[in-house]
Amino acid sequence: MSQTPEEIEADIARQRAELAGTVTELQAKLDVKTRARRKVDELGGPPVVLGAAGGVVLLVVVLKVWRSRRSRR
Protein backbone atom coordinates (compact mmCIF):
# COMPACT_ATOMS: atom_id res chain seq x y z
CA MET A 1 0.00 0.00 0.00
CA SER A 2 1.54 3.33 -1.04
CA GLN A 3 1.16 6.59 0.80
CA THR A 4 -0.12 9.82 -0.62
CA PRO A 5 2.20 12.84 -0.70
CA GLU A 6 0.20 14.40 2.13
CA GLU A 7 0.66 11.29 4.31
CA ILE A 8 4.38 11.26 3.56
CA GLU A 9 4.68 14.94 4.51
CA ALA A 10 2.72 14.36 7.71
CA ASP A 11 4.98 11.42 8.58
CA ILE A 12 8.09 13.53 7.94
CA ALA A 13 6.70 16.33 10.13
CA ARG A 14 5.97 13.86 12.95
CA GLN A 15 9.46 12.36 12.72
CA ARG A 16 11.04 15.84 12.76
CA ALA A 17 9.10 16.72 15.89
CA GLU A 18 10.20 13.49 17.59
CA LEU A 19 13.82 14.11 16.57
CA ALA A 20 13.67 17.69 17.86
CA GLY A 21 12.40 16.41 21.20
CA THR A 22 15.19 13.85 21.37
CA VAL A 23 17.83 16.46 20.55
CA THR A 24 16.44 18.78 23.23
CA GLU A 25 16.60 15.98 25.82
CA LEU A 26 20.19 15.18 24.85
CA GLN A 27 21.19 18.84 25.07
CA ALA A 28 19.74 19.03 28.57
CA LYS A 29 21.67 15.93 29.65
CA LEU A 30 24.92 17.22 28.17
CA ASP A 31 24.65 20.72 29.67
CA VAL A 32 26.92 20.03 32.64
CA LYS A 33 27.05 23.64 33.82
CA THR A 34 23.27 23.93 34.15
CA ARG A 35 22.98 20.50 35.77
CA ALA A 36 25.66 21.44 38.31
CA ARG A 37 23.88 24.70 39.14
CA ARG A 38 20.60 22.85 39.64
CA LYS A 39 22.32 20.36 41.94
CA VAL A 40 23.87 23.18 43.98
CA ASP A 41 20.47 24.84 44.27
CA GLU A 42 18.94 21.51 45.26
CA LEU A 43 21.54 21.02 47.99
CA GLY A 44 20.89 24.41 49.49
CA GLY A 45 23.10 26.82 47.58
CA PRO A 46 26.80 27.60 47.54
CA PRO A 47 27.35 27.91 51.33
CA VAL A 48 26.54 24.23 51.79
CA VAL A 49 28.85 23.22 48.97
CA LEU A 50 31.63 25.53 50.15
CA GLY A 51 31.28 24.27 53.70
CA ALA A 52 31.49 20.67 52.56
CA ALA A 53 34.49 21.42 50.34
CA GLY A 54 36.20 23.22 53.21
CA GLY A 55 35.60 20.25 55.47
CA VAL A 56 37.15 17.89 52.94
CA VAL A 57 40.20 20.13 52.52
CA LEU A 58 40.62 20.36 56.29
CA LEU A 59 40.38 16.58 56.61
CA VAL A 60 43.05 16.07 53.93
CA VAL A 61 45.40 18.56 55.63
CA VAL A 62 44.92 16.92 59.03
CA LEU A 63 45.58 13.47 57.57
CA LYS A 64 48.76 14.65 55.81
CA VAL A 65 50.09 16.28 58.98
CA TRP A 66 49.25 13.18 60.99
CA ARG A 67 50.98 10.88 58.45
CA SER A 68 54.08 13.08 58.26
CA ARG A 69 54.42 13.17 62.05
CA ARG A 70 53.86 9.44 62.25
CA SER A 71 56.50 8.67 59.63
CA ARG A 72 59.13 10.71 61.54
CA ARG A 73 59.00 8.33 64.48
**Residue 1: band (very low, low, confident or very high) from pLDDT cuts 50, 70, 90:** low
Q: Are 40 and 49 in contact (CB under 8 A)?
A: yes
Q: Please check the confidence at residue 5 and state whether its pLDDT lies above 90.
A: yes
State residue 34's pLDDT score.
85
Q: What is the pTM of this model?
A: 0.45
Count Cβ atoms below 10 Å from residue 49 Cβ, excluding itself.
14
pLDDT, tens digit (0-9, with 9 covering 90-100), for 18-50? 999 999 999 988 888 888 888 877 877 556 566
Q: CA–CA separation, 13 vs 5, rounded Å? A: 12
Q: Using the predicted structure, report yes or no on whether residue 73 has a pLDDT greater than 70.
A: no
- The confidence score (pLDDT) of residue 45 equals 59
